[in-house]
Amino acid sequence: INPVSREVWLAEVIPVVIIFFALVFTYRRFQFSHLAYALMAFWLFWHTIGGHYTFANVPFDWFNQFIPGERNHFDRIGHFSIGFYAYAMAEWLLRKKYAKTVLVYSFSLFFIMSIAAAYEIIEWWYAALEGGDAGIEFLGSQGDIWDAQKDMLADTLGAVFSLLVYSRVRPDKHIIDRVKI
């Protein structure tokens, strides 16, 4: 399969493997809706592709022409899609009855924002420790001094989007309706 950089690929694929196995091991105890799994799978696939090429070098020119600037926007879409995990978080919290709706939406949004901030710190930490090309490729700032902030905004907007979708779909309501029948 030959990734562009084995070091970057390994660093990028670790969170994918952790999340994948967490979903596999928890499947018997809690099953998300099909849409939640689809949204989570999108990020797993996207991040795996980004890790293979390094996010700045994914052949994504067909899309980049629609957004002004010199950067490869594959990374931004990856960050937007990590926000999709807010959908699964809201679904889990509501179905388990851990909180009421407003608190669930707030917690799910803030959870993603916290993960986004933590990931940006991990990226910086890895780049500082690794140094060299692998560190720069993993950081993926592509010369943008505001990259970390824009990435966190993309994560947040993805979470807002997925929570808006969740508010329209509300799979927990459909599950409750089926149980009552």
Q: What percent of the chain has pLDDT over 90?
A: 52
Q: How many angstroms separate the CA atoms of 22 and 114, rounded?
A: 19
pLDDT band at 117 (very low <50, low <70, confident <90, very high): very high
Residue-by-residue DSSP string for 2-16:
--S-HHHHHHHHHHH
Report pLDDT digits (tens) over 164-176.
999 998 866 655 4
Residue 130 has pLDDT above 80, yes or no: no
This prediction's pTM: 0.84
Report pLDDT digits (tens) over 10-46.
888 999 999 999 999 999 999 999 999 999 999 999 9
